[in-house]
Structure formats: C-alpha cells, structure tokens
Structure 1
C-alpha cells in the first residue's frame, strides 16, 4: 500500500472517530437551570434520566438528592451502556477497571430548579497478587496435606480504588439529557 493511501486511511479514521464536534448548549460547571413549576414532574424526569445511566441507590425527595450505586465503566464492546462517554473513556474502561458514582441535587429556586450532577470516577488498584492465583493450587508431595478451612479475607474485604476525580464528559451528557427531557 502506498504512503498516500495510508495517510488517506489514517485521516478518514480520525475523522470518523471525532465526528461532528460542536459546543455544548449546557454551561460548564455540572449544573443547569430548568424552568418548571411542577415539582413532581421535574423530580420524576430527573430520576428517569439518572436511571438511564446508573442504578439508583438512594433517592430522597425531601433532601433533593439522588445517589447512585457504583457502576463499572462500559468498554468498547458495550455500546448499549451510556456511562462511558467518548472513545478515550471507553478504551480506558476496556483496559482498566473504572467505576463511577453519581450524585444529583435538585434545588428549587424562584421560577425553576437548579439541577447539579456530580460524577466521580475511581480506578481499581490491582497491585497485589490475587487470592485465586494458580500458584496457590499446587501441592508439595513431601508434606502431608494440611487443610485450613478459615480463609484470611482481610485483603479481599478492603476495596482498593484510586479516586480519579470528576467525570465532566458524563456530567455534561447527563445535563444535556435532562434539558432535552424537561423541555418536552
């Protein structure tokens, strides 16, 4: 294949991966203002949008807080999952265990609601050897078998997740979905 064909294919691949990049209509900062007077409708549509991305762990309408369960990030082979936004995030979730958790606050104001979305990312730390390593299943033939029925699971119980901060791409996508859903 000639150099021109390789260059052309590389440019076409880059153009297809980037798509149409446009500025978001949602302001940066993880919050959006929506007009509305029906408290229940705004709350239910917000819960509906959050449920498109996460399973809800705690929903408190009196405190105006929605907290989600941790969700492992979707990889490249899971296009039906919406929690990994963009090629870079999907590639990272494919190669490394990433989990996300969201907090949504719906604050009533004078003539509408201020909805803020905060999504936090964490990466799994797999530095130590697993309890189920193949070397642990080998037996020495010169020592009689001694069975220990108690498993030391102190290392397993501790979750080793490294905080990576917030996920602004997912926050923006959730806020855009909220704006679209609440404008109907």
Structure 2
C-alpha cells in the first residue's frame, strides 16, 4: 500500500502543474486586458431622473435630440407648472436601420446594430416620455426594433408568376411585379444601445452647463 501511495504522489503533479499554470496565465491575461483597455461606460438608468428646469427648456431639448435620430410623428408637450401638470410624449415614425455605408445617420449604433441593419431589413421607432416629478422630471426612452418578414429572399430563383404554354397572348399591362412581398414585421424587442445614447444626449444637454464665452472687446 505504501508503494501505491508513493506512485500516486509521483503521478499527481503531472496534471496539477498544467492546470495551475493555465489559471495563472489566464489571470495575467485578464489583468493585462484591464490595464490596457478602458473600463466600459456605466449604463444610465432608464427611466432617469432629471433636475428641476423650466418645462419649455426641457421639452425643447428632448424634441431636438429625438429629431436627430428619427422623424417625429406626433408630440404632446410636457406641462409642469402651478396651473397644470401633464406628461409629455414624443412618438416617431418607423425608420429603416442605417447601414455601414451611412455613417452620418444615428439611428443604428456602431457595432452589431449597424452590421445587422446592413445585412437585414430592420426598422426602429422611438417613444420618449417625460413625466413631471415635483420640480424635476422622469425621462424614459423606448426604442422598438422589428425585422422584416418577406415571403422569400430578394434574389430567389423561384417566382410567383406562372408561364402560359397554351399560346395565349399576354398583355404587357398585366405584367406582374415579381419582387419579394413583405408579410409582416417580427418584433426583436428593444434597442438598449440606442436608448442609452439618446438618454445620455438628453441628460447631458440638461445637466451640463454651457461653456462660458469670453468677453468681446
């Protein structure tokens, strides 16, 4: 029995040492990554609380930011005064996602969202709500994303138009537009990345003071 125990003690380091070295190098790799790469931005809460400001000023900032991303379909301005307190809301029209060839558009965030909008038919719309809370406000941004559901791919070899073989003349006016037809849209949930960008834009405009301008001589 003592000889078996001795053999086991001699064999054990053969698999323990590689495991320890692997864990050590993995830990060093994580440390090196943290030292050479900046920490990711902390996400802002959504809804987020805004400080007390005149309702006209806050509403103009919200509308101006939303207009940078989408076309506004309808809006209800916020009211937060002694006479009336009313939630404000902005609803936008659907907009087809911008591709990597449209860097000037802001409705698709860089990375996965922009690449997905390049290779898929994706549309988005935003609903921004501003709720008075005392002298301040609660801001909520919801961006819905949908995926197109066509009846077939764009360059499919099959067709929906039949070919007649009975000698009947076919008028050119009856020519069928045989492109893909949209059956509907598949909800993909909310676009959290775009929501974060819009919330950050609105929050920054309201909380960060304008830079003081120098005196003109």
User: Considering only aligned residues, what root-mean-square deviation do their CA atoms show, in Å?
Assistant: 3.1
- 1:53-84 residue CA offsets vs partner (Å, 9 max, x unmatched): 11100111254110000011111111111111
CA separation of 1:23 and 1:129: change in aligned 2, threshold 3 A: closer
Distance in 2 between the 1:128 and 1:136 partners? Answer: 10
TM-score (norm 2): 0.64
Kindly indicate whether residue 123 of structure 2 is the aligned counterpart of residue 107 of structure 1.
Answer: no
1:71 corresponds to which residue?
95
In structure 2, the gaps of 5 or more residues are: 1-32, 78-85, 210-217
CA deviation after TM superposition for structure 1 residue 144, in Å: 2.3
2:41 corresponds to which residue?
23
CA deviation after TM superposition for structure 1 residue 24, in Å: 2.5
2:142 corresponds to which residue?
118
After TM superposition, the structure 1 = structure 2 runs for residues 23-42 of structure 1, keeping only pairs within 5 Å, are: 23-24=41-42, 26-27=44-45, 30-42=46-58
Higher Rg:
2
Distance in 2 between the 1:46 and 1:106 partners? Answer: 9
CA separation of 1:21 and 1:139: change in aligned 2, threshold 3 A: farther
1:167 corresponds to which residue?
191
Distance in 1 between the 2:61 and 2:135 partners? Answer: 18
CA separation of 1:66 and 1:162: change in aligned 2, threshold 3 A: same
TM-score (norm 1): 0.74
2:168 corresponds to which residue?
144
CA separation of 1:135 and 1:88: change in aligned 2, threshold 3 A: same
- Aligned to 1:76, what secondary structure does the other structure show? coil
In structure 1, the gaps of 5 or more residues are: 1-14
Distance in 1 between the 2:98 and 2:38 partners? Answer: 22
Larger RCO of the pair (alpha carbons < 8 Å, separation 6+):
1
2:68 corresponds to which residue?
52
Q: Is the 8 A contact 2:125 2:145 kept in 1?
A: yes
Moved over 3 A (4+): 127-130, 133-142, 146-152
CA deviation after TM superposition for structure 1 residue 37, in Å: 2.9
Distance in 2 between the 1:21 and 1:81 partners? Answer: 27
Q: Is the 8 A contact 1:26 1:172 kept in 2?
A: yes
